[in-house]
Amino acid sequence: MAVMQPIMLRLLTASALLWAASPCWAAEAKDARQHLSHDLQVRVSPDAKSLQAMDTIRLPASHDAALEFVLHAGLDPRPIDQDVSIEPIEGDSMHASVPLERFRLTLPEGRHAFTIRYGGEIHHPLRQGAGESRSFRTTPGLIADDGVFLSGAAHWYPQFNDDLMTFSVEVELPEAWTAVSQGVRMHAASQSGEHGGVRWESHAPQDEIYLVAGKFTEYRDSLGAVQVQAFLRQPDAALAKRYLDASIGYLEMYGALLGPYPYGKFALVENFWQTGFGMPSFTLLGDRIIRMPFILQSSYPHEILHNWWGNGVYVDYSGGNWSEGLTAYLADHLLKEQQGKGVLHRRNALQRYANFVDAGTDFPLGEFRGRFSPASEAVGYGKTMMLFHALRRQMGDDAFIKALRRFYRDYEFRRASFANIGNTFGAAAKSANFDQWLKRAGAPQLAVSHALSRSAGDVFELRFTLEQVQDGPAFHISVPIAVTLEGLDQAFQTELTMRDKLADVRLSMRRRPLRLDVDPQFDVFRRLSPGEMPPALSHVQGAAQVLILLPADAPPPMLDAYRQLAGNWRQRYGPHVEIKLDSEVEELPVGVSVWAFGWNNRFLTDVANALPTYGAQLLGRDSLTIAGERFASDQHSLVLTMVHPADEDATLNWLAAHDVAAMPGLARKLPHYGKYSYLAFNGGALDNVLKGQWPVLRSSLTVMVEQENGKIIDVTRAELEHRQALIGP
Ligand SMILES: [Zn+2]
């Protein structure tokens, strides 16, 4: 299951049309006896919160002699045939999210198929996921009046082991309801006669069976033999069309890049609570999320791509979850790259790592299972994404794409590990020292110094020291550098292989070197230095020590509202968030990231003094100008973050609401704006009218080269090589 991020698409090639005409899923039935199969007939009664089921199970040609299965408690499974017996046995149901019962099944000699009848209530109300900004409320299984959601975790069908399986499920529902599952629909509700039934079949091996149902309006299109569907809870033809068109575009793009889409359909399904889940061959998005305009270019392609990575090639979790990082690289990163924003996207990923991950929360990629915090996301998504970027840099685009296609072809509908990826990428993985990222936490941190130019005849020698300054041993990395040369518009670019913590570098060049930029396009996974990043809200959101200063002089209802907002953050981010009145503090505290709340805050002067560096200005206590625009205190809610004037490792932040009523909305919205330096929201609806990042004033990995005469000439960086996106537009 998966979540949200940003993107854009295009593209239609001859090869995309070709694969669409010859779907591979039709050929998958050949190894049916290799997997256990379920043939389910289910009657779902939303008003009774229950289901009644008959399951005909076919065992794989080779299976354990002692058969045991687990089922949701209270479903009372019984065999149809008299020569089959089912006995309850004591068993642990540790870690299960629903109450379970375990059974032993005894079959007559030589029997491979049998039918079980069971039924009862499955109703687990929604619960909040882990306390993280982007987590959703969730349930393993819920049969209710407003909809049905059953995942493998609900154990709504008998589960024998963790092996992949195939299935069909025929569902009977009340009038006007319909059901969606993986695979393809064999006959539509309208054709099925009296029961209003619908049947889904998946011959492609799955690791769980989903059953989702509701009163949907269905919209359809197709791409070759692939059905493209949208199931909406309220009729909305325009919305459906946007999603159908986007589905077709992304299926074409990824088919051309990676190989045929692995399923016979792709469906957008509107959920009855807010989710952004990607399941094999469908995605389940909440009604609010589905209507956010940016989703079509962000989480939607990400979820579609999961049909290749995660739901096409399954993850062997024992060696770490590679699928999120690869999906992030080929969806979120690729679409940014197509817009010419790849460098920014990588810098943002590195910035999240720098801001959210420390020695206490870091871990090797081999231990990543899933996201449960900003830190686990920065590592599991961000670092993995950068690992694939390093592989691509090492191999070149064509070889990288070939290796991706080979990996997909070799492991389709099988579980694969990071080690399998390492083998597929072969020599490139070895050169990129793939293993160090799987086994070791942390990141290199780079420093550059002593950049000198010496000339001999008409040849110049550039000397400098490149150092890995993190604790612990060196990482084996390849570090790009760009040298700005006298009289040339284009920079000289090369890569330095670093195996030790210290490298004394000497490079000969025909022109006088003036300026050195280390890793200017953020190609290396590393811990950024504070000077390389624009101050962003994610810094204070991830800071180890935060002090919120409330405005003692604000009108009491306003002060109360600020106090509530502060309390809300303390709950979200933890007890290291301290809350005080500004009147309790004499001077702007150092060694801690500070929030000053309100226009009446006594530390507003510190905010006003720091702002001009960034090209912004406070005008008295009633307006702010920023990026040439003026924002009034009674109309706009404003949020800013800056480097702390007396402590470059901390930030000074300011938040001023234009109205008491704006506070809950700000509390809800701000966690989603972590990468920004400044924000303005307008009116009661809190429409975001301005967001941006301050410019980076000076990176510590940029140095001007000292010339023989001791002089340093300050120049802007020459142009860098133009890079193409991995594919299109
Ligand atoms: Zn994902």
Between the CA of 5 and the centroid of ligand 1 the distance, in Å, is: 9
Q: What is the pTM of this model?
A: 0.81
- The pLDDT confidence band at residue 143, using thresholds 50, 70 and 90, is very high
The better pLDDT of the pair 615, 226 is held by 226
Evaluate if residue 25 carries a pLDDT over 50.
no
Q: Detail the DSSP E strand segments found in 407-512.
A: 415-416, 446-456, 459-468, 477-485, 492-498, 502-509
Ligand 1 center to residue 98 CA distance, Å?
25
Give the pLDDT confidence of 232-273 residue by residue, as tens digits: 999 999 999 999 999 999 999 999 999 999 999 999 999 999
Q: How far apart are CA 628 and CA 153, in angstroms?
A: 53
Rounded Cα distance, 67 and 120, in Å: 23
What lies within 8 Å, CB to CB, of 685 at 6+ separation is: none
How many angstroms is it from 367 CA to the middle of ligand 1?
17
Ligand 1 centroid–CA 299 distance in Å is: 8
Task: Read off the amino acid at residue 120.
Answer: G
Q: Among 493, 492, 457, which Cα is nearest to 478's?
A: 493
Those residues with Cβ within 8 angstroms of residue 577's Cβ, 6 or more apart along the chain or in another chain: 546, 548, 566, 569, 570
Are 101 and 70 in contact by the 8 Å Cβ rule? The answer is yes
> What percentage of the chain carries pLDDT values higher than 90?
70
CA of residue 323 to ligand 1 center, whole Å:
7
For 671-686, how does the pLDDT look when each residue is reduced to its tens digit (9 = 90+)? Answer: 889 889 999 999 888 9
681 Cα to the center of ligand 1, angstroms: 29
Instruction: Find the mean pLDDT for residues 355-383.
Output: 91
Cα 704 to Cα 490, 697, 713: the distances in Å are: 17, 15, 7
CA Rg value for the chain: 29
Distance 483 CA to ligand 1 centre (A): 38
State pLDDT tens for residues 600-646: 999 999 999 888 888 899 988 889 999 889 999 999 999 999 988 87
Q: Is the pLDDT of residue 286 over 50?
A: yes
The partner residues of 639 in beta bridges, in order of sequence, read 655, 679
- The CB density around residue 313, as the number of other CB atoms within 10 Å, is 25
Q: pLDDT tens for residues 518-535? A: 999 999 999 998 778 888
- Ligand 1 centre from 40 Cα, in Å? 29
How far does residue 334's CA lie from ligand 1's centre (Å)? 14
For residue 612, the model assigns a pLDDT of: 85
CA of 401 to the centre of ligand 1 (A): 20
Contact 422, 403 (CB under 8 A): no
- Mean pLDDT (the chain) is 89
Residues near 376 by Cβ (< 8 Å), separated by ≥ 6?
Answer: 361, 363, 368, 370
- Are 331 and 429 within 8 A, CB to CB? no
C-alpha of residue 303 to centroid of ligand 1, in Å: 6
What percentage of the chain exceeds 70 in pLDDT?
Answer: 92
Residue 120 Cα to ligand 1 midpoint, Å, equals: 33
1 CA from centroid of ligand 1 (Å): 7
Which pLDDT score is estimated for 326? 98
- Report the separation in Å between the CA atom of 243 and the middle of ligand 1, taken as the mean of its atom positions: 19
From ligand 1's centre to the CA of 381, what distance in Å? 8
Least trusted range by pLDDT, from 169-178, 596-605, 693-702: 693-702
Q: Across residues 453-480, what is the average pLDDT?
A: 95
Going from the Cα of 276 to the center of ligand 1, the distance in angstroms, rounded, reads 9
Q: How far apart are CA 580 and CA 565, in angstroms?
A: 13
Comparing C-alpha atoms, which of 351, 353, 426 is closest to residue 395?
A: 426
Q: Say which residue, 432 or 641, is predicted with more confidence.
A: 641
Q: pLDDT-based confidence at 110, cuts 50/70/90?
A: confident
| Alpha-carbon span 209 to 282, nearest angstrom | 12
CA of 233 to the centre of ligand 1 (A): 24
- The tens digit of pLDDT for each residue in 332-355 reads 999 999 999 999 899 989 989 998
CA of 383 to the centre of ligand 1 (A): 14
Query: How many Å lie between the centroid of ligand 1 and the Cα of residue 2?
Result: 4
149 vs 428, residue with greater confidence: 149
**DSSP 3-state of 468:** strand
Per-residue model confidence (pLDDT) at position 672: 87
Residue 360 has pLDDT above 80, yes or no: yes
CA of 525 to the centre of ligand 1 (A): 20
Rounded Cα distance between 291 and 119, Å, is 36
> What is the H or E stretch that residue 198 is in?
strand 198-206
Q: How far apart are CA 97 and CA 84, in angstroms?
A: 29
pLDDT band at 697 (very low <50, low <70, confident <90, very high): low
Residue 643 makes CB contacts below 8 A (sequence gap 6+) with 530, 535, 610, 650, 651, 652
CA of 638 to the centre of ligand 1 (A): 32
Distance (angstroms) between ligand 1 centre and the Cα of 589 equals: 40
Cα(278) to ligand 1 centroid in Å equals 7
Over range 214-231, report the average pLDDT: 96
Q: Rounded to whole angstroms, how far apart are CA atoms 373 and 569?
A: 15
Q: How far is the CA of 637 from the centre of ligand 1 (A)?
A: 32
pLDDT at 437: 94
Look at residue 370 in the predicted model and tell me its pLDDT: 87
The pLDDT value recorded for residue 92 is 65
> What spacing in Å lies between the alpha carbon of 37 and ligand 1's midpoint?
27
CA of 136 to the centre of ligand 1 (A): 14
Q: How far is the CA of 306 from the centre of ligand 1 (A)?
A: 7
Please determine, for residue 280, whether its predicted confidence score (pLDDT) is greater than 50.
yes
Q: Give the Å distance between the CA of 304 and the centre of ligand 1.
A: 9
DSSP 552-620: TTS-HHHHHHHHHHHHHHHHHH-TTEEEEEGGG-SS--SSSEEEEESTT-TTHHHHHHHGGGGT-EEET
Q: What is the pLDDT of residue 129?
A: 63
Hey, what's the torsion of the CAs at 410, 411, 412, 417, to 10 degrees? -160
Distance 308 CA to ligand 1 centre (A): 11
Q: What is the pLDDT of residue 190?
A: 46
The average pLDDT across 386-398 equals: 95
Distance 548 CA to ligand 1 centre (A): 34
E strands within 9-99?
A: 36-45, 50-58, 67-72, 78-79, 85-89
Sequence-distant (6+) residues with CB within 8 A of 672 are 133, 134
Centre of ligand 1 from the C-alpha of residue 223, in Å: 24
* Amino acid 109: pLDDT: 86
pLDDT at 179 > cutoff 90:
yes
CA of 79 to the centre of ligand 1 (A): 40
Structure tokens given for 480: 């790009």
Q: Count the Cβ atoms, other than its own, within 10 Å of residue 563.
A: 17
CA distance 286 to 616: 38
State the DSSP string of 330-373: IIIIHHHHHTT-HHHHHHHHHHHHHHH--TTT---GGG-----S
Residue 363 Cα to ligand 1 middle (Å):
19
Distance 26 CA to ligand 1 centre (A): 27
